Amino acid sequence: EDQVTQSPEALRLQEGESSSLNCSYTVSGLRGLFWYRQDPGKGPEFLFTLYSAGEEKEKERLKATLTKKESFLHITAPKPEDSATYLCAVQAMGNTGKLIFGQGTTLQVKP
């Protein structure tokens, strides 16, 4: 069964304190791995798509990496506005359209 597990469930950082969020997955052939950001009361906002092991993508203070079993979302020198829930999702080969989401990591960055 395809499955996504995110850790930690919650993370509290001081402004400027870099850290990483983990997304472990088991899927019958990975088509793509997606990272989304969700603010309270809003829909998930797309951040990155990764397709193959070794791939990396960056956006401002965020960098996503992918291996054959997990993905990391690295946050460098975070700011309070980076506080949100970060969701990871996988799409299996031959299962176009269907995303399986993890439970998310809620990040709080204190000034």
Partner 1 sequence: DAGVIQSPRHEVTEMGQEVTLRCKPISGHNSLFWYRQTMMRGLELLIYFNNNVPIDDSGMPEDRFSAKMPNASFSTLKIQPSEPRDSAVYFCASGGVYTDTQYFGPGTRLTVL
Binding residues vs partner 1 (CB under 8 A): 31-32, 34, 36, 42-46, 49, 87, 89, 91, 96-104
Instruction: Say how far apart CA 50 and CA 63 lie, in whole Å.
Output: 11
CB of 27 to partner 1, least distance (A): 14
* Cβ proximity to partner 1, 53 vs 77, nearer residue: 53
* CA atoms of 108 and 66, how far apart (whole Å): 24
Cα–Cα distance for residue pair 48/84, rounded to 1 Å: 16
Specify the residue, 73 or 78, whose C-beta has the smaller distance to partner 1. 73
Residue 35 vs 78, nearer CB to partner 1: 35
Distance in Å, CB of 111 to partner 1, minimum: 27
- CA 45, 14, 64, 2 dihedral sign is negative
Residue 62 vs 78, nearer CB to partner 1: 62
The nearest distance, CB 43 to partner 1, in angstroms, is 4
DSSP state of 20: E
Identify the three-state secondary structure at position 80: helix
